[in-house]
Amino acid sequence: MRKLIVFNNVSLDGYFTDDKGDMSWAHKSDPEWNEFAAGNAKGGGVLVFGRVTFQMMESFWPSDMAKQMFPDVAKGMNDAQKVVFSRSLKDVKWNNTKLFNGNLIEQIKKMKAEDGPGLAILGSGTIVSQLAEENLIDEYQVVITPVALGRGRTLFERMKNKLNLKLASTRVFKNGNVLLNYLSEP
């Protein structure tokens, strides 16, 4: 059975995007962080996106700018298998991407039951809250970025039920980011 993880940056006040949908504040570059990000990009799993995050990633990672600025991460993102869940997209152009227009919950249950590499959601707060509500996410990797936004969107803003998690590990980076690794509790 495949594991489904979430990897997201959140501001100190709990937002994963600001009130305009911008996430650029989450990129606090330094050598240690860049090495960590490049290692994550080589993870070998399937990347899972909602439409908004997918279109943002698709517009950046295949670009020459991304390849120059972050060569290892760009290679990992472009080579990775990707799935995007959208009711409005009709086709996708980013290589190694499969589009699903059907039921998110049922498709993720099916994917988790299959053999294969793990699944990782990047961004995509709308699908995170839907899958968390159904207890389909096994692990939450949340990076607290030392910035306060005042307003924006939270990862769990549409959840109706409490989500119990167990802290598995932490890591503090020199740029001020703190990685919190949580496991779902049944």
> What is the per-residue pLDDT across 53-67, written as a single tens digit (0 to 9) for each?
999 899 999 999 999
Which pLDDT belongs to residue 39?
76
Which pLDDT belongs to residue 33?
83
pTM: 0.90
> What is the per-residue pLDDT across 116-155, written as a single tens digit (0 to 9) for each?
999 999 888 889 999 999 999 999 999 999 999 999 999 8
Where is average pLDDT lowest: 1-5, 73-77, 111-115?
73-77
How far is residue 134 from each of residues 46, 52, 108, 121, 174, measured CA to CA in Å? 20, 21, 11, 15, 36
User: Residue 31 — pLDDT band, cuts 50, 70, 90?
Assistant: confident
Q: What percent of the chain has pLDDT over 70?
A: 98
Cα–Cα distance between 60 and 13 in angstroms, integer? 27
Please report the domains of the chain, with CATH numbers, ordered by start residue. 4-184 (3.40.430.10)
Tokens describing residue 61: 């990672």
Tokens describing residue 51: 């439409």
Q: How many helices (H) and strands (E) does the chain have?
A: 6, 10
pLDDT of 22 above 90: no
pLDDT of 41 above 70: no
